[in-house]
Amino acid sequence: MTKIVVIGATGTLGRAVTAELKARHEVIEVGATRGQYRVDSTDPASIEKLFREIGKVDGVVTTTGKLHFGPLPEMTVEQFWVGLRDKLMGQINVVLTAQQYVNDGGSFTLTSGILADEPIRQGANATTVNLALEGFVRGAAIELPRGIRINVVSPTVLTESLEAYGPFFYGFEAVTAQRAAQAYLRSVEGAQTGRVYRVGS
């Protein structure tokens, strides 16, 4: 049985990914304020502390990331930094810090989102961050050592989140978190690297 850590395991998407992985793996569930373990992925020292506690793993999945949604004409630089600091650098911090804790042939699986491909009103921060994550994965895949792979999952809006985000996503078909979770299995259990797995686009 391989050991997979899910950072964001207490969230809407992370709960489904954790449930699917648990069928075949030992899963370490990490949240920010809840869960078996806690981390603040915006703080590399907190990530280092987490991995010192849990030790070596075969896979790292991140389903975290705050973004700023708001009209561009009123957007401040500080608001734009929300997505850069939290969703973009939060996940990149995890890869940079955790790489020496991943066993040979292990994997990273990050999370972007459909707004990478389908911009919406008030979504400039999300589109930027999601595409930057896909760029990071493309760049990192050719350089990660010891057969370590890296992919990113880009889901459309989740059925479970429609109540919260519905008005931003008229005309988009939602998918369940359980369906989106299948792409994480493909990344963790498959052999590909440098891929963007789009779900429901």
* Residue 155: CB minimum distance to ligand NAP, A: 4
Identify which of 130, 115, 132, 6 has the alpha carbon closest to the alpha carbon of residue 62: 6
β-partners of residue 107 are: 59, 149
* Residue 159: CB minimum distance to ligand NAP, A: 8
Is residue 28 involved in binding ligand NAP (CB under 6 A)? no
Is residue 157 involved in binding ligand NAP (CB under 6 A)? yes
- Find the binder of ligand NAP among 5, 11, 25, 69 (CB under 6 A): 11
The 10 Å Cβ neighbour count of residue 78 is 9
Identify which of 55, 69, 51 has the alpha carbon closest to the alpha carbon of residue 129: 69
Counts of helices then strands in the chain (DSSP H, E): 7, 7
User: Mask: binding to ligand NAP, 161-180, rule CB under 6 A, as x and -?
Assistant: x---x---------------
User: Mask: binding to ligand NAP, 100-119, rule CB under 6 A, as x and -?
Assistant: -----------x-x------
Q: Are 197 and 35 in contact (CB under 8 A)?
A: no
Helix (H) or strand (E) holding 199: strand 196-199
Which is it for strands 57-62 and 102-111: parallel, antiparallel or unpaired?
Answer: parallel
Local structure of 151: helix, strand or coil: strand
Calpha distance 82→78 (Å, rounded): 7
* Residue 24: CB minimum distance to ligand NAP, A: 21
Number of amino acids touching ligand NAP (CB under 6 A) = 30
Stretch that binds ligand NAP, among 2-10, 18-26, 53-61, 144-152 (CB under 6 A): 2-10
Is residue 42 involved in binding ligand NAP (CB under 6 A)? yes
- Find the binder of ligand NAP among 90, 106, 123, 200 (CB under 6 A): 90
Calpha distance 20→184 (Å, rounded): 9
- Find the binder of ligand NAP among 25, 68, 87, 195 (CB under 6 A): 87
- Residues in touch with ligand NAP (CB under 6 A): 7-14, 31-35, 39-42, 63-65, 67, 87, 90, 111, 113, 155, 157-158, 161, 165
